[in-house]
Amino acid sequence: MKYFQSIFVMVLFGFCSSETDDKPQFKIDCTFESFADFKSELTRIAAIKSEDDRELFLTELWDTLKNRNQIPFIFGDSIAFLYKGEANSVSWAGDFNGWDPTMDGYQGSKVGLSNIWIAEQKFPSDARLDYKIVVNNNWILDPANSFTQMSGFGPNSELRMPGWIYPQETILQAGATRGTLSDNITIVSNASNLNYSVQYKVYTPYGYDELINLPVIYVTDGHEYSDNAKGSMIIVLDNLIFSGLIDPVIAIFIDPRNPSNLSQNRRMDEYRANIKFANFVADELAPVIDSNYKTNTSADARAILGTSLGGWNSAYFGYARNDKFHLIGIHSPAFDETIIQNYNNSALMPLKIYMSTGVIYDTQNQARSMKIVMENKGYALLYKEVNEGHSWGNWRALIDEPLMYFFGKYKY
């Protein structure tokens, strides 16, 4: 489902000395043959004493790098974070340092006499990481990097290593038939459960009128999973169904925000092993969906999917409400120790589980602990680790995997 996007990190412009002039010149046939070569050339330009000449050559180099999507500059596993501008301090914060710009190795230093700031790092060759630049304590997008990834708090700049594979399934295929996403629908939970209103949207696959007995996936943080700038799950569903990789499926996108006040997000309460939320979905929402749509009502055909606290919630559904949910989808789970011990101390439950995590300041410790428990118990588990952080850029590229694992027409 993913395609390998070749990224040529060798910049085709370099800094060279002219054979006919005492001043250094740019020549199109110059190349950077290594990371050290790039640094050497940048250092040489930054040492030019003439401010006019120095700025001329720096601008030429900078524009070349920017136009070739080479800022940050990448060669192999080596990275040069770069910023051009006057500042008292420059640092970088992102998935790679837990968003802590004070961590050693992420403070920029000025290059020679220039106004270019640099910080050097090494990352796995297939990493993809969100970041921002901190200039004089102001957090900004990288103005020289056109790649961004939307988060729950707005856009971040995106670092793409050469071996990272773009999730092509998040781009609608040419000619793909499309399902339908409803407007928000409101349900009022009863007093014994949540005792407030919840809104959700329903995705029905293309050709729904001719279909019957459809599996259903319930998605927490549904407003973000269904957002094309974040999860892109609607596009992924359309592509997988159109390609015949999964059976047609209904998706229920549950919004944790108060319908009357969208600034009030209730996920911190709902998704932390909350039996009232689990019972609301299993005993109130699911019966409404089964009554109003052409669903397969078997627990074997009903899935729950979530990320972070939503991943914890998915595992909790598997533990507390496996009478209704047998398909458990988990992205970057923010487990507490109790849910891990719940699985460790209980008998094998009738679950099929997908779990993924990033390994760069993500939830790998909790996920690995749960993985050991699940494998020792004998669960059907598909487990995935990626060189990414706690980001929608991570999760959106892994939505196809639980869908194919749960609903695929072929053995995954």
> Residue 64 corresponds to which amino acid?
T
Name the band, by pLDDT with cuts 50, 70 and 90, for residue 12: very low
| Angle at 312 (CA atoms; ends 335, 320), nearest 5 degrees | 115
Nearest to 178 by CA among 238, 247, 237, 228: 238
Name the band, by pLDDT with cuts 50, 70 and 90, for residue 412: low
Check residue 246 and report its DSSP letter.
Answer: B
Low-confidence winner among 51-65, 221-235, 301-315, 345-359 (lowest mean pLDDT): 51-65
Q: How far apart are CA 103 and CA 83, in angstroms?
A: 18
Could you count the other beta carbons within 10 Å of the beta carbon of residue 376?
10
Q: How far apart are CA 281 and CA 300, in angstroms?
A: 16
pLDDT digits (tens, 9 = 90+) for 178-197: 999 999 999 999 999 999 99
CB 249 within 8 A of CB 241: yes
- Residue 226 is predicted with a pLDDT of 99
**Span 312-325, average pLDDT:** 99
Instruction: State yes or no: pLDDT of 117 exceeds 50.
Output: yes
pLDDT digits (tens, 9 = 90+) for 257-293: 999 999 999 999 999 999 999 999 999 999 999 999 9
Higher pLDDT, 411 or 153: 153
CB 82 within 8 A of CB 71: yes
| Angle at 275 (CA atoms; ends 395, 250), nearest 5 degrees | 45
Residue 308 main-chain phi, psi, to 5 deg: 60, -120
Q: How far apart are CA 409 and CA 412, in angstroms?
A: 9
Q: What is the mean pLDDT of the chain?
A: 93
Name the band, by pLDDT with cuts 50, 70 and 90, for residue 410: confident
- Residue 409 is predicted with a pLDDT of 82
All domains of the chain, ordered by start, with CATH? 3-165 (2.60.40.10), 169-407 (3.40.50.1820)
- Residue 27 is predicted with a pLDDT of 40
CB 254 within 8 A of CB 270: no
Residue 354 main-chain phi, psi, to 5 deg: -115, 130
Cα-based torsion angle of the residue sequence 35, 41, 43, 45 in order, rounded to the nearest 10 degrees: -150
Name the band, by pLDDT with cuts 50, 70 and 90, for residue 358: very high
In the chain, the percentage of residues whose pLDDT exceeds 90 is 91
Q: Indicate the pTM of the whole model.
A: 0.91
In DSSP terms, which residues pair with 58 in a beta bridge? none
Instruction: State yes or no: pLDDT of 14 exceeds 90.
Output: no
Instruction: State yes or no: pLDDT of 22 exceeds 70.
Output: no
- E strands, 86-231, in order: 90-94, 109-110, 116-122, 128-135, 138-140, 148-151, 154-160, 165-166, 180-181, 185-188, 197-204, 216-219
- Residue 16 is predicted with a pLDDT of 44
Q: How far apart are CA 165 and CA 304, in angstroms?
A: 26
pLDDT digits (tens, 9 = 90+) for 66-83: 999 999 999 999 999 999
